[in-house]
Structure 1
Amino acid sequence: MRNTQDGYLLIFVTLYPYGIISGLQRITIIMISTIHQILARYWGYSAFRPMQEEIILSVLSGHDTLALLPTGGGKSLCFQVPGMVTAGITLVITPLIALMKDQVENLKSKGIPAEAIYSGMTPREVELAMNHVLHGQARFLYLSPERLLTERFLTALEHIKVGMIAVDEAHCISQWGYDFRPPYLRIAELRDRLPGVPVLALTATATRKVVNDIQDKLRFSQYHVFERSFERNNLAYVVSRTENKTDRLLRICTNVKGSGIIYVRNRRKTREVAGLLARSGIRADYYHAGLDPREREKKQDAWKSGSIRVMVSTNAFGMGIDKPDVRFVVHLDLPDSPEAYFQEAGRAGRDEKKAFAVLLFEEADILDARHNLDLSYPEPEFIRRVYKALGNYLNLVPGTGRDTTHVFDINNFCNQYDFKPVMAYNSLKFIEREGFIVMNEAMSTHSKLVFNARKDDLYRFQVEHAAFDPLIKMILRSYGGVFSEPASISEAELGQRLSIPAETVTQLLTRLHQLDILTYVPRTDKPQITFSSELIKAEDLRISPQFYHERKQEAVQRLDAIINYVSTSNRCRSQMLISYFGQSDSRRCGICDVCIERNKANLSELEFNNILEVIKPMLKAAPCSLKELTNACPRISEEKVINAVTWLTDNDKIDVVSDGFFRWRSGNEDQ
């Protein structure tokens, strides 16, 4: 008998009503029963989504496992459910701080203790979180990758029983992935310290090359992949080449009922497009990462509740927002990669009802996309200049700054050092990807505080410093648990209850912070930068020319793939996307713009392929007349052969030569 921390007893039964079963079968039956109980008790679901159960059983059996599940496929349950079964804590490594905070709050709301440690937290907050972990008061510990192998964490790790390691956004570990992050490479070092602990890696987007690289980098004992088909039978992909995006967008928002998301590249455009829609009578709003946190939350809630129908946003919107009834997602600018597009478009139709993913583009967009890619890779020497200027701007000297957080105004920074904002921003993003800094924008929605002084010491302080006594008493009455973990507070509410201005509350709390009575973290609406490591000399910032070139070439190839996607008008959109990720056995979706055009030819996929199989070699060998083509297909009606030839001509697969003969267009091999 094995006793789990959740209180479930895994009893190894010896009897089975239909005969003798093996020990492995008994264990599997018990595991299945247990994980279904946990799913129902904590998440309220009666059944798992496709492949979740298999993934969970795999990791519970001790196998290193890679799970490829499309956006909205329920990746988090694949480690949260087994984390409730295994003895010991589950380490969850993810680069998405906002998503990390959301999941920790969601777990706590279900009565499951969880903690998170990420760049931007105060030393006191980190200390309290680690104390909860060390004292067995957490089942899950979420970590950002740059905090994973700090000396403090590694020391604590010696006293923590770890049952499982979950690596979310696992494509970040691959240098061939679209969002490679060097700190992820150090995850494998944990395996030396935690022998025998299984790893569950999860991602929604990975090519064959990346799938293998993930398993190699994480030192899988053997390749072990669970992969759901990337097919979305209810999602109609549409590409529309148009010089009037505004008119096309208005028609989509008018004709397609229900809620939608419109993705644009920059913040200014979010406001402009939302304003245009609102003036046309469509309930629309805009969203980007630079908004006040409370405003972002308010906009999200309005969209999720349906009071706002359409959200116009940068790619900051959608991550972790589970709204199943999104009927359309429109991209007004070219995405950087098929991975990014597949993830964003996949936020439509999660309820498995008909939905649309529409990409509007014109030729100028391709030139803009290539230009933006060049801007995304400033020259290494310029990146070093920006890094040196950053240290000077924040008054840091080499060897200092680790784990410090600074308010950062990029416009002021660029004005002071005469940088172009887009070049400086992309340089900072490159420095962030290398693991030196973390950029965030107003991570906290409220001010926070926690008492450092013990209760008896605090009482003596109140007696000796009467001016602080009313505020301290009010905090203790208003907020619970402020000696054990940070509490979100409102200076305005405290001031109202004490009949003093909020500014006075802020001043008193700041003074108490300086006296080390409590730790006070004022809310900020400004972007921040946290140093993940000590500032080094700019000339020591190593940027390998070969590595830099390889990274840029990978980005060029991904952009070429998305350009090919929008430029191709003769292959099923779903098949194109799915084949990019290495799944080649899919059928035509029948509902994308390409398939609908082909359907107009009144041909089934089998009929079309049979005709193509006969006439394509003929047309490649020499020009042929329509009569020759129809005669070559005696078992297929002449009308259907003519329909196929017409479709191939309309979609630029074959040319009509001057004497009325047809020939296959040179270099055009795709169906």
Structure 2
Amino acid sequence: MSEALKTLQKYWKYDSFRDPQDMIIQSVLDGKDTFALLPTGGGKSICFQVPGIMLPGICLVISPLVALMKDQVQNLQKRNIKAIALTGGISSDEIIDLLDNCQFGNYKFLYVSPERLQSDWIIERIKGLPINLIAIDEAHCVSQWGHDFRPAYLKIATLKSFFPKVPFLALTASATERVQEDICKELLLDNPVLFKKSFARENIAYMVFEAEDKLHRITQMLTKNPGPSIIYVRNRKSCHDIAAQLTSLGFRTAFYHGGLSTKDKERQMQLWMEESAQVIIATNAFGMGIDKPNVKTVIHVQLPENLENYYQEAGRAGRNGEKAFAVTLIAPSDIGTTKNQFIEVLPDKTFLKEVYIKLNNYFQIAYGEGFNDSFSFNLNHFCLHYKFPVLKTFNALQFLDRQGVITLSATFSEKVTIQFLLPSKEIIRYISLNSADEAVIVAVLRNYPGVYDMETPINSSLIARKAGTSEDTVFQILKRLHEKEIISFNSQANDSQLTFNEVREDSLTINRLSKFLEKQNDLKIAQFEAVVAYMTDKKLCKSRFILNYFGEQNTTDCGSCSVCITRKKAPSDPVATAKEIVALLKNSPLTSREIENRLNLTPEETIFAIQLLLEYNSITLNTKNQYLLK
């Protein structure tokens, strides 16, 4: 493995491989089909990038995640390794040019989505390339029992007949035993060498706490463990709300969700990575490619959709091997609320068909047309237009995306149109009186000469660059001009890019997908039930629960999760606790939280003792939510 280690040191500056990266790489270099189950943080990309560089020719990487492909291509290019990605929205002419570059330009990596491999002419071009390795990332997508099944993955096996001597490397971070078997079978792996790293993370303490006041529990944890932390929330509003609340309490925060511009995402990420912010509040859009080793705490304030996603998100804690915490805060109403958000909004065939037809109508796509057409897309505007429920519609679009019918990428953009309402001499007069606005106005007039005649779309980043200022300043000036009725100014946010990967066929398309929809809905229900079981089970060690879910048997208690700690802790005497509370209340009325803090009790112990005192009519509650003696 000395050559592989030299390659690692040359391009990545690492001194050694993580276990079992070196053995996976050797298996690939030996020309063997290989299956690798490396839980989050295991370094899957190194397993195909190192042999891809070492072997003569090009490594073909199949991945369903556009953002991940772009991220990996950029990282390879930064290391002066030639790589290309065929993502959605690229025209056929551009694809031809890119594939020509692969053939004649000494490229080492070609990233494609599985949907691209459904085009015969692309397969024909790839057949002519000197492929040295075929790496299938997120390989669980090939299994109908996986949490992210994509039918396009089933076509990958056809590459076997074109490249019979080229090794296949299937990689995934989360797969049950059933899914692992499915991957090897569906990809036609030939007597594959199997590498499975245990899902056990001995340094992570998995905690589930019941909490009515989640903000209070969060502040306790962030104060007790002041290291870098992540708080996962379900939506953008929660992102901003919790960030604002924690900031007001004196914590340094950042936030991250799919609705932010690329620039804002990078800025927020940088604040957290450099530890100018202690905690980042994020939706599940955050996490891809994040490898911050010293994350101390990962907190989920709402239930995750499945244990596969939860394990990956929780696993971003403690990658440096030091003690870390993965905490879920659960309120009594959370299970019912989450069920409504995850299960009750699963689309059936009828709704899916309606959304698909309206989507095509929305973009004026005729029957038999639309292939490779791309549009800016705002989900809320679409739902408002057709009076669709937002969550159910999003699930329908996400299903269409995973089946390869469309590609929905969360790339934030803002469409801006303006028109000057005053004649040019008045504009010149305004500039003479407002010199601070001159550079922006001149940049607009020079680049958009028709702006006097009609509403004209403008590129705000171009104007900012030409004027030597920021986009924020451009928007401020345009809004000021609009308020003074010098220009008309319209701005429409588009929170994603939508590409149609197939021609419009309405019933033919939906009928083909309906059997997959039923299976996926059944799977989602089963996965949610597993989440509920994990959160509510107070007898089985949380670490063992996760390991059992992923098929690891003969496990032992971790000794550090919320269940294990409760089991080790001597049960408190509620009568003795009640007496302590009575003694405390002789001095002054107190809230339940004040009682909890002063007596160093758990919320459960406090509530039980207070209920005991209320039943015996020993205490009462005043209008300030304080308890006092009767």
Q: Do the two structures share a fold, i.e. TM-score over 0.5? A: yes
- 1:367 paired to 2:341: no
**Counterpart contact for 2:261–2:413, Cα < 8 Å:** no
Q: Which moved more, 1:307-316 or 1:207-216?
A: 307-316
* CA distance in 2: counterparts of 1:304 and 1:120, whole angstroms: 31
* CA distance in 2: counterparts of 1:188 and 1:137, whole angstroms: 26
* CA distance in 2: counterparts of 1:239 and 1:411, whole angstroms: 34
* CA distance in 1: counterparts of 2:530 and 2:500, whole angstroms: 35
SS of 1:39 mapped into structure 2:
helix
* CA distance in 2: counterparts of 1:396 and 1:384, whole angstroms: 15
* CA distance in 2: counterparts of 1:356 and 1:434, whole angstroms: 36
- 1:194 paired to 2:149: no
- 1:596 paired to 2:565: yes
SS of 1:360 mapped into structure 2:
strand
SS of 2:107 mapped into structure 1:
coil
- Does the C-alpha gap of structure 1 residues 184 and 553 become closer, same or farther in structure 2, counting only changes over 3 Å? same
Tell me what 1:561 maps to. Answer: 530
**Counterpart contact for 2:208–2:562, Cα < 8 Å:** yes
**Counterpart contact for 1:375–1:426, Cα < 8 Å:** no
User: Structure 1: which 5+ residue stretches go unaligned?
Assistant: 1-31, 446-470, 472-487, 504-522, 603-671
Tell me what 2:607 maps to. Answer: none
Q: After TM superposition, give the deviation of residue 193 of structure 1 in Å.
A: 1.7
- 1:261 paired to 2:230: yes
* CA distance in 2: counterparts of 1:41 and 1:430, whole angstroms: 41
Q: Deviations over 1:164-189 (max 9, x none)?
A: 11111111111100111111111111
**Counterpart contact for 1:574–1:588, Cα < 8 Å:** yes
Tell me what 2:71 maps to. Answer: 102
**Counterpart contact for 1:388–1:538, Cα < 8 Å:** no
- Counting only pairs closer than 5 Å after superposition, residues 50-65 of structure 1 correspond to structure 2 as 50-65=19-34
**Counterpart contact for 1:68–1:204, Cα < 8 Å:** yes
* CA distance in 2: counterparts of 1:337 and 1:78, whole angstroms: 27
**Counterpart contact for 1:134–1:156, Cα < 8 Å:** no
Tell me what 1:211 maps to. Answer: 180
SS of 2:343 mapped into structure 1:
helix
Question: Partner letter of residue 155 of structure 2?
Answer: R
**Counterpart contact for 1:384–1:539, Cα < 8 Å:** no
Tell me what 2:318 maps to. Answer: 349
- 1:314 paired to 2:304: no
- Does the C-alpha gap of structure 1 residues 129 and 152 become closer, same or farther in structure 2, counting only changes over 3 Å? same
* CA distance in 1: counterparts of 2:86 and 2:264, whole angstroms: 25
Question: Partner letter of residue 42 of structure 2?
Answer: G
**Counterpart contact for 1:231–1:586, Cα < 8 Å:** no
Question: Partner letter of residue 212 of structure 1?
Answer: E
Question: Partner letter of residue 371 of structure 1?
Answer: N
**Counterpart contact for 1:98–1:443, Cα < 8 Å:** no
Q: Deviations over 1:524-563 (max 9, x none)?
A: 9642100111121245421565543332221111111111
- 1:380 paired to 2:342: no
Q: After TM superposition, give the deviation of residue 337 of structure 1 in Å.
A: 1.0
* CA distance in 1: counterparts of 2:413 and 2:169, whole angstroms: 29
**Counterpart contact for 1:348–1:355, Cα < 8 Å:** yes
* CA distance in 1: counterparts of 2:529 and 2:193, whole angstroms: 30
- Counting only pairs closer than 5 Å after superposition, residues 16-165 of structure 1 correspond to structure 2 as 32-165=1-134
Q: Deviations over 1:179-211 (max 9, x none)?
A: 111111111111122212111111110000000
* CA distance in 1: counterparts of 2:24 and 2:554, whole angstroms: 22
Tell me what 2:496 maps to. Answer: 527
**Counterpart contact for 2:413–2:495, Cα < 8 Å:** no
SS of 2:212 mapped into structure 1:
coil
Q: After TM superposition, give the deviation of residue 494 of structure 1 in Å.
A: 5.8
Q: After TM superposition, give the deviation of residue 415 of structure 1 in Å.
A: 2.1
**Counterpart contact for 1:494–1:502, Cα < 8 Å:** no
Q: Deviations over 1:566-587 (max 9, x none)?
A: 1111221111101111111332
Question: Partner letter of residue 318 of structure 1?
Answer: G
SS of 1:240 mapped into structure 2:
strand
**Counterpart contact for 1:42–1:110, Cα < 8 Å:** yes
Could you tell me which of 466, 472, 489 is aligned with 1:495?
466
**Counterpart contact for 2:32–2:192, Cα < 8 Å:** no
- 1:283 paired to 2:256: no
* CA distance in 2: counterparts of 1:489 and 1:144, whole angstroms: 31
* CA distance in 2: counterparts of 1:84 and 1:388, whole angstroms: 45
Tell me what 1:6 maps to. Answer: none
- Does the C-alpha gap of structure 1 residues 540 and 338 become closer, same or farther in structure 2, counting only changes over 3 Å? closer
**Counterpart contact for 2:298–2:326, Cα < 8 Å:** yes
Q: Count residues in correspondence.
A: 513
Q: Deviations over 1:325-360 (max 9, x none)?
A: 111000011111111110000001111111100011
**Counterpart contact for 2:349–2:510, Cα < 8 Å:** no
Q: After TM superposition, give the deviation of residue 257 of structure 1 in Å.
A: 1.3
Could you tell me which of 205, 227, 242 is aligned with 2:196?
227
Tell me what 2:554 maps to. Answer: 585
SS of 1:582 mapped into structure 2:
coil
* CA distance in 2: counterparts of 1:543 and 1:381, whole angstroms: 13
* CA distance in 2: counterparts of 1:223 and 1:576, whole angstroms: 29
**Counterpart contact for 1:286–1:312, Cα < 8 Å:** yes
Q: Deviations over 1:434-461 (max 9, x none)?
A: 210010122799xxxxxxxxxxxxxxxx
Question: Partner letter of residue 407 of structure 1?
Answer: S
Q: Deviations over 1:479-518 (max 9, x none)?
A: xxxxxxxxx9962466348xxx999xxxxxxxxxxxxxxx
- Does the C-alpha gap of structure 1 residues 322 and 408 become closer, same or farther in structure 2, counting only changes over 3 Å? same
- Does the C-alpha gap of structure 1 residues 373 and 496 become closer, same or farther in structure 2, counting only changes over 3 Å? closer
* CA distance in 2: counterparts of 1:122 and 1:546, whole angstroms: 31
* CA distance in 2: counterparts of 1:402 and 1:524, whole angstroms: 25
**Counterpart contact for 2:240–2:255, Cα < 8 Å:** yes
- Counting only pairs closer than 5 Å after superposition, residues 438-587 of structure 1 correspond to structure 2 as 438-442=407-411, 491-492=462-463, 495-496=466-467, 526-538=495-507, 540-543=509-512, 546-587=515-556
- 1:433 paired to 2:402: yes
- Does the C-alpha gap of structure 1 residues 199 and 351 become closer, same or farther in structure 2, counting only changes over 3 Å? same
SS of 2:205 mapped into structure 1:
strand
* CA distance in 2: counterparts of 1:171 and 1:584, whole angstroms: 21
- 1:236 paired to 2:212: no
**Counterpart contact for 1:92–1:166, Cα < 8 Å:** yes
* CA distance in 2: counterparts of 1:433 and 1:108, whole angstroms: 28
**Counterpart contact for 2:355–2:396, Cα < 8 Å:** yes
- Does the C-alpha gap of structure 1 residues 192 and 435 become closer, same or farther in structure 2, counting only changes over 3 Å? same
- Counting only pairs closer than 5 Å after superposition, residues 607-622 of structure 1 correspond to structure 2 as none
Tell me what 1:248 maps to. Answer: 217
Q: Deviations over 1:364-411 (max 9, x none)?
A: 111122222334421211110110001111011122111111111222
* CA distance in 1: counterparts of 2:82 and 2:509, whole angstroms: 42
* CA distance in 1: counterparts of 2:339 and 2:116, whole angstroms: 34
**Counterpart contact for 2:208–2:327, Cα < 8 Å:** yes
- 1:409 paired to 2:392: no
Q: After TM superposition, give the deviation of residue 124 of structure 1 in Å.
A: 4.9
* CA distance in 2: counterparts of 1:55 and 1:341, whole angstroms: 26
**Counterpart contact for 2:257–2:283, Cα < 8 Å:** yes
Q: Which moved more, 1:181-190 or 1:124-133?
A: 124-133
Question: Partner letter of residue 433 of structure 1?
Answer: R
Question: Partner letter of residue 70 of structure 1?
Answer: P
SS of 2:234 mapped into structure 1:
coil
- Does the C-alpha gap of structure 1 residues 526 and 368 become closer, same or farther in structure 2, counting only changes over 3 Å? closer
SS of 1:403 mapped into structure 2:
coil
Q: After TM superposition, give the deviation of residue 223 of structure 1 in Å.
A: 4.3
Q: After TM superposition, give the deviation of residue 85 of structure 1 in Å.
A: 1.5
- Does the C-alpha gap of structure 1 residues 576 and 189 become closer, same or farther in structure 2, counting only changes over 3 Å? same
SS of 1:363 mapped into structure 2:
coil
Question: Partner letter of residue 129 of structure 2?
Answer: I
**Counterpart contact for 1:288–1:317, Cα < 8 Å:** yes
Tell me what 2:485 maps to. Answer: none
